[in-house]
Homo-oligomer: A and B are copies of this chain.
């Protein structure tokens, strides 16, 4: 179930509301701020009525919305900020691919927040929509994830460049936090790969294969979230409509470098998993074959011995050896010599 939703989250456009959890309460947080230390106003509201009064002030305005169930509120927001109907549809339809779309007076960014669920060993992604206008930023999330908390704290403290530089720097800061989260996911996956590598090198059990298979699938999901993120960051750098000032461009280049770094690390992990699988398979195959050879060697050693016993178990009347007093001892000695000789022979060839 969950798997399927991950594969084909985006279905064709349907009436909004099918896609998101309508039960989830919608919480809007409005922050208006300027470069001055005390120039910050923060408002929270959960319904349209509460939020009706807000008006863009002279500074930078950041409206963050958690939970996409309150359509009336969202439509009102879309109307006030003059969002294109397709943008609103994409915000509500949380199965989009990461992308950037330039509209006349704003830039619409769909990004994916990734986290690693340790319990299930799954890579989970969530859609974050960011709208960057001139002087204002809107962000839309399905659930509160705490990712933007650090940025909010910086704003409140009046520290860093985030207060001095405008809305475009805020978007950079948010994207930076999003990309940071991927490092955690990769680290978790990397640890799993190394654990598996140790297991394979030391005491390979057949279950390893199931773990490798699961890990490969998670890598596919991560990869699918990561590549479009790089495209997004690359597209932002090319940004022709000048939503980003050149001062912020340098920072964007930095996040882009992080994304490239992430993709390389991810590709390397992929190669390592592939190489590990090959190694495990070859090793396992060799091991089983050698074990089979050992068992067959044992059978091969007993074969002629049993044959000899069979020969002297025959009931011919005239079998001179049988009458001989030392016959039994001689045959036993012969068998022992033969058995030990063969054993030694195979031992030397390392087949035993």
Which residues of A come within 8 Å of B, CB atoms?
3-4, 7-8, 10-13, 84, 86, 90, 96-97, 99, 101, 103, 176, 179-180, 183, 186-187, 190-191, 194, 201, 206, 209-210, 213, 216-217, 220, 224, 250-251, 253-254, 257-258, 260-261, 264-265, 268-269, 271-272, 275-279, 281-293, 295-300, 302-307, 309-319, 321-328, 331-332, 335, 351
Q: Nearest Cβ distance between residue A199 and chain B, in whole angstroms?
A: 14
User: How far apart are the CA atoms of A328 and B320 in the complex, in Å?
Assistant: 9
Decide: B306 and A316 in contact? CB cutoff 8 A.
no
How many monomers of this chain does the complex have?
5
Q: Nearest Cβ distance between residue A45 and chain B, in whole angstroms?
A: 31
Decide: A10 and B312 in contact? CB cutoff 8 A.
no
Decide: A293 and B286 in contact? CB cutoff 8 A.
no
Q: List 21 A-B contacts (CB under 8 A).
A: A4-B187, A4-B190, A7-B265, A97-B261, A101-B253, A209-B282, A210-B279, A213-B276, A220-B271, A224-B268, A289-B289, A291-B351, A295-B299, A302-B304, A303-B306, A307-B309, A309-B311, A314-B315, A314-B328, A316-B327, A318-B324
Q: Which residues of B contact A317 (CB under 8 A)?
A: 322-323, 325, 327
User: How far apart are the CA atoms of A103 and B250 in the complex, in Å?
Assistant: 9
Question: Which of A271, A281, A300, A311 has most B Cβ within 10 Å?
Answer: A311
- The A contact surface, by secondary structure, is helix
> B260, B271, B293: which contacts A292 (Cβ < 8 A)?
B293
User: How far apart are the CA atoms of A103 and B304 in the complex, in Å?
Assistant: 82
Given known contacts A183-B12, A275-B213, A314-B331, A298 and B298 CB-to-CB distance under 8 angstroms: no
Given known contacts A275-B216, A284-B286, A315 and B319 CB-to-CB distance under 8 angstroms: yes
> B3, B11, B269, B289: which contacts A288 (Cβ < 8 A)?
B289
Q: Which residues of B contact A311 (CB under 8 A)?
A: 309, 332, 335
Q: Nearest Cβ distance between residue A324 and chain B, in whole angstroms?
A: 8
User: How far apart are the CA atoms of A310 and B305 in the complex, in Å?
Assistant: 9
Q: Nearest Cβ distance between residue A291 and chain B, in whole angstroms?
A: 6
Q: Which residues of B contact A260 (CB under 8 A)?
A: 97
Given known contacts A176-B12, A319-B315, A331-B316, A288 and B290 CB-to-CB distance under 8 angstroms: yes
> A302's closest neighbor in chain B, by CB?
B303
